[in-house]
Amino acid sequence: MEETRQTKDDVRRSISKALALLSEKEIRQKTNKIEKRLLEFANFLEANIVLLYLNRDCEVNSMNIIKKCLSFKKIVILPSFDTTKREAILFKLDNIETDLRPAAGHILEPDPSRCNVVPIECIDIAIIPGFAFDEKGGRIGSGNGNYDRLIPNLPITARKVALTFEDQILPQVQMEAHDKYVDIIITEKRIIYKI
C-alpha cells in the first residue's frame, strides 16, 4: 500500500510539472474546449441538479461552468468537506458573488450562513475533479479521499463525470480498494466512456 501511495504522489508531482509548462493561453484554450464539450453533453443538458467543484491547482477551472449553470437555471451544488468528521456537506449555490468564502488551501467554499444544505440523493450529475485519470475511469485525486467517500453515496442514476486535460490521462492509474471510478471523462480532445 505504501508503494501505491508513493506512486500516486509521483503522479501528482509529474502532472503538476507538466501543467506548469503550459502557458495561460494554452490552459484557457483547453479549458474552453472542455467547457464546450460539457455544455453540449446530453447527460449534462438533461440534468437539473449539478454537483460541481471549486477547483484547485491542476484541476480544470470550474468557475465559468458554475456561472453557465446558474445562467441556465440549473441548481448548482458545491461540496464542503469536513476533514475532522471525514464527510461532505452539500450546499446549494444561488449567487456566486455572495455565497462563497475563502477556505484552507486558497480555494473558495460555500458559505454555510448563506447556502442551504441539500441531500445527496437529489444530484442528477456529479462533476468530479482529479489529478489524473485513465480510460477505465480510474482516478487519482488530491490524496485526502474526500471524493472517494462522496462518490459511493451518489444516487446510482447520477453520472460521475470528470473534467481533465488530455495531459492528465494516463495509460493506467494505480487504484486501491477504497478508490472510486468515474463513468465519463471529458478532455479538450474527446469524451471517454468507462470501458
C-alpha cell at 152: 459511493
Full DSSP string of 70-116 = HHTTPEEEEEEEETTTTEEEEEEES-TTTSEEE-GGG-EEE-TTTSE
Express each pLDDT in 147-169 by its tens digit.
Answer: 999 999 999 999 999 999 999 99
How many Cα atoms within 13 Å fall on the side-chain side of residue 138?
14
User: Which residues are registered as beta bridge partners of 192?
Assistant: 185
Among residues 40, 13, 34, 57, the alpha carbon closest in space to that of 164 is found at 34
What's the mean per-residue pLDDT of the chain? 91
pLDDT in tens, the chain (195 residues): 455 555 888 889 999 999 999 999 999 999 999 999 999 999 999 999 999 999 888 899 999 999 999 999 999 999 998 777 888 899 999 999 999 998 876 678 899 999 999 999 999 999 999 999 999 999 998 878 889 999 999 999 999 999 999 999 999 988 888 889 999 999 999 999 986
On the CB side of 170, CA atoms within 13 Å amount to: 19
Spatial separation of the C-alpha atoms in residues 59 and 49, rounded to whole Å: 21
- Show the domains of the chain with their CATH numbers: 2-193 (3.40.50.10420)
- C-alpha dihedral over 121, 161, 164, 80, to 10 degrees? 0
